[in-house]
Copies of this chain bind each other. A is one copy, B any other.
Amino acid sequence: MPKPTDAVVPAPASPAPALTDDLSFLLARANAISLAAGNAALAVHGLKARSYSVLVLTTGDARPSQREIAEFLRLDPSQVVSLVDDLQSRGLVERRTDPADRRANVVVATDAGRRLASVARGSARAAEEQVPRQLTPDQRQTLAALLRVLAFPET
């Protein structure tokens, strides 16, 4: 397991710089693990990471439109259509045409949706705490803060 001791300047002839120093690779692998654990934990509730995310977004005060959901989740708007279709058909969310802009659908969780989100959050959290077991709470918060910078870059 390599240590974070490498310099910033690239060294041309050094022994092959491993993938394990590559932030992109580490993100991909960590995400794959986390995603698998999350999906497994949410399956009991008939949810996946995606649908869970949408559901959670609709339980807040933000009242996001589908376009906003798509942007936030980095999905194509058409994918949000399917996700909301599914949640709506299960009575977990509703589409309300935004009075301020009647093109837009505001998606809002129903009571059942809120209840499910609340239960599912427990499962998700449990799964999430399995994965970074090796991290202290402090380290986990640091990680979250740093990831937040990557996930939501300014500008």
Interface residues, chain A, CB within 8 Å of chain B?
1, 4-11, 15-35, 37-38, 49, 53, 56-57, 59-61, 72-74, 121-122, 124-125, 128, 131-135, 137-154
Contact = CB atoms under 8 A, between A and B. Distances in A.
Contacts of A152: 1, 20, 29
Q: Number of copies of this chain in the oligomer?
A: 2
A9 B148 CA distance: 10
Contacts of A132: 23, 149-150
24 contacts: A6-B138, A8-B145, A9-B145, A10-B122, A16-B61, A17-B121, A19-B56, A19-B72, A24-B128, A26-B144, A26-B150, A27-B31, A28-B34, A29-B151, A30-B147, A30-B150, A31-B31, A33-B151, A34-B150, A132-B149, A134-B149, A143-B146, A143-B150, A146-B146
A10 to B, nearest CB: 7
A125 to B, nearest CB: 7
Contact of A147 (B5, B10, B27): B27
Closest 6 pairs (CB-CB, A-B): A9-B145, A26-B147, A29-B151, A30-B150, A31-B31, A16-B60
Contacts of A26: 144, 147-148, 150-151
Contacts of A7: 138, 141-142, 145
Query: Quick one: which of A18, A128, A149 has the most chain B CB within 10 A?
Result: A149
